[in-house]
Structure 1
Amino acid sequence: MPDLESIQEFEEVESLSMPRVLVVDDDSANRMVLRTFLLKEGYQVDEASDGLQAVEYCQHTMPDMIFMDLAMPNMDGYEATRRIKALAGDEFAGIIVLTAFSEADALMRAIEAGADDYLTKPISFGRLKAKMLVMMRIRAMHESMRKLHKERMRELDMAEQLFNHVILAGDESHSHPETLKVHLQAAESFCSDLILAHRHPSGQLFVLHGDLSGQGVSAALGTLPVLARFRGLVEQGYEARRLLKALNQLMCDLLPAQIYMKASLIIIEPDGQSVQFWNAGMEEVWLLGAEGVRGFPSRNLPLGMSQTDLSYHFEQIHLNPGERLLFTSDGVRECENAKGQIFGRQRLLTWLAERAQQESQTSLLVPLMDTLTDWSQGVALIDDISLLELKSGTPLAERHAQEIAPLAKPAALLWTFRGEGDTLASIDPVPQVMTMLDTLLPYPQVRHDLFLIMRELYNLALEQGLLGLDYQQKHDEEGLALYYEAREQGLADLQNGRVDLKVWLNEGKRLILEVACEGGCADRLDIQEEALIRLKRHASRVHLQDQGRRMQAVYELTST
């Protein structure tokens, strides 16, 4: 029998929340005895006469505790326990099996199926009460841990959004898709790898590819001072060596001695073909072209390792048509499979050699990530992965001259969203944007205009840009039905491509709504005149870039 103190403690816990208990037994007399006892103790009690009924019950209502008989018709207690635990997920549903079996094998089978404890028949109510006390303690601890985990994940999500806003604000790494493509994938919540691109007053594009030692939040936060300093120095016109010296000094001064950053500084000339890069501790840089694959190993110490031994060995490359440079972090080489084998340098080199003369318009990044996914067989990443592909492309200065209108300069990034591949079938970001705008901006009268603008931009990017649908189909009822049928099928089949949404507030006076698409069916997005007319009814200006695949609408805010 439990002592008085235990019973009092049980009653205190019990008084906080009366759990719902499910009694599962094919013997109605056994159910009645347990029900009478539990009701007397103040619990909510439901019954099931076999395992199948119990599973069906739990599909709608997950009880706090289950008393499960093992030998039952239709579905025994072992199978019911397995299915209920699967249904519960991260909820706690304590299962105590009730059995006349005393064999260790039967009890072990029940525990392996997911049971948390057991009682042998005939039942001792003293033992039952004591075991329920233990189960209540476990339940309370589990719920406490769930709340803590949920709160931590909420804080991490918020921190990640803010972190990404800081990273994305002003970054040009996605602004030159014909020349530069990037991919980042975190091993944990935060990615401590970074790829930043910023235009130098000379017209050169400076790109910093970094891998900070460590992983997760602490490592990611260590990148913040680096990225802020990098942008400032590039904007001020620092030449490469002065910039590297300043970044190295910053890391030595601000970060602990054991923290350093492996990095590559890549400088792309305005012609889009002449490139120089500085490799400090990063993986080999690969040049792919008609002559095969050539590797350029690191020749410099990482940033933050030494204040005095920083070196400036740059590689000079002229990219001929069809050639490309591939920069990777060590997360590629260290990617493990289920057998504990790493992908390794030789496999990467072989993979690249097979694709060295592949048409350069086709990016290597998605196929490489698919290869790593197949290799890992679901094993979690050991380290963050970052990839940067640089191709001989359109001259940078010429690309800016080809824009239909100069892009508005954003001041504060309020919100960003990225939808990729088949996730676009289940996510509609437009309501999320509107919720954010309703919360942040005291202009409820403009909600209608902003919704129509964002909906039009998003549909253009998704339907015409990624899915390649024929806009003309929407002009009659039959065509409209076919159009949306094709839309649903296209989303179901979509495997690659992405849509990016960003919202900026400029000087507190205007909103800049941007939607960009990449991949999918169309190489360019031919915006129909009637779509532009609709946009211009609500937006003060509409800007198009990258052959229509990046669209901005500017909306002037008023306080009236």
Structure 2
Amino acid sequence: MKSPLVREVAYRLLLVEADTELSQALAQVLSEQGWQVTCACNRAEALKILGDTPRFDLLLVAQELPDGEGVQLVENLVLPPEPEQRTPILLLAEQEDPQLLKRCFDLGINDYLVKPINPLLIGLKARDLTNKLRLADRVIQQKQELEKLLDASNREAEMASYVFYNNLLDHVSDTIHGFNRYINASSDFCGDLVLSKNSPSGSTFILHADAMGHGLSATMTLLPLVDVFHSMVSKGYALPMIVREMNRKLHFRLPPDRFVAASVVELDVLHEQVSIWNGGMPPVYYLDSEGRVINSYPSNHMALGILDNLSFESNVERFHLVGEGGLFGCSDGLTDQVNAQGESYGNQRLLKSLEGAPRHSLMGTLVADLKEFSGVPYFDDDLSLFYVYFPELIYFQDQKYQLQGNQAHKLGIAPFIWELTLSGQQMGEQEIPALCNDYLQDMGFPQPFCQRAFTVISELSSNAIEHGLLKLKSSLKEDPEGFAEYYVLREQRLRKLTHEDQLRVRLQWQVTAERSRLFIEVEQSGEGFDFNQVMQQPREELAGRGLLLIRKLSTELMFKKQGRLAVATLE
């Protein structure tokens, strides 16, 4: 029997527009995209429909209506106090108006669009706005469903675990080429978790977590972790900031006797770098093409949720990402599993099993070996494994970054200029690329374009801060010890910046009849550099690789003001 909580109707949309021709065009496009569209031509009709219909998934409201303004219609609505439960609203206006924009912001209207409107773009933007609302609905629905199933039979509990855990993975984790995972619960609910997600920077993030305890209580402990991972990776935050926020949230929400062991990995193909943070998990192994261990990365930190924010350490270990081998991680459910004689599976047996195991069946080979060793049908603890095969990951990442010519002119986004200036220690406290990425996504740019822009902004702003303002030398990062020294110096010098030290980021979207371009300007008040000299360095020199990457992703790259101002063009 299907749960009454699950709605199987199409997305419901109320379109309030006096222009009959435009209303019909939008309704047709939206209907073709799966929307159930209800139309109204004025405020009075819209209010009557809203009173008769329990809930719409999206309101698309024109500002200019025969009997008043669209924002007045919104003002008359009774909205839930929680932002995540409010119906998303898009406002369509004839022209830009700063005062209207402020009213929209105060009312919680999600977006403000200026006519003429591309119906297809509206459909895509509309579906994107409903995702958060649907995700919140799903969490509430699953929570209610779980509460009903707690007192049910074991079969019902197993079904609830399947629905809960698999939906969690499906809606938060991305499909990554070259990445495989295996999870096995020792009870109805699982306290282990393996998630993968792509960042706007082009990096791939992996979260591997093992919550203290077993069953439902351990699974519920993972929810704040998943929320932080999903939101912060999506916005392009750096790995240290992500694990710090995970720890802060768990430390605040969990009882004192609860914690979550976790390892977080960032695979940055563009910069050919792997970063690892390990808190309380077994070692993460860097394997060669034959499965032999090149290096291991044991836990150097406390598990998440134990230390307060001041005591917590978020520094990571890094190594050079090459086109062979891969990365393997497991929970202690593998190594701690015992057999009938009381012997543990252990690290030595694990390393022996990894060596020579077929890459495409690595998970199955290890699990089969563990079952044979233990001689039991069910393992003692939750078990989770992951493996990333570098050649496949790199190949598909490179394919994604092949430039496909000038497609930006088809976006239909009106010209704009957006500028941000930061002073002093603000530069170390703000994730500049993430702020820019949020803005570009809100303006309607597609994800591939935003990802290119994010990477360019990240490289230019990092170069401006670290080399122009902080006077750090890239040569420090040529070996692992230098990496650590580099980031220690970075933190020390960031704290010494004054209000006279400034960074300016300017985004200008220019539209002409022939083409559309995004100009990215990054200017810093510190020292300049000889651009030509840097670009003449060998490909292997780390100091020039960021600039080479920007040149690859940009149509044009220029430096002015003795290197203090960088201008990149994206088409």
Q: TM-score range by the shorter chain?
A: 0.3 to 0.5
Q: Using structure 1 for the length normalisation, give the TM-score.
A: 0.42
Query: Who wins on radius of gyration, i.e. which is larger?
Result: 1
Q: Using structure 2 for the length normalisation, give the TM-score.
A: 0.41
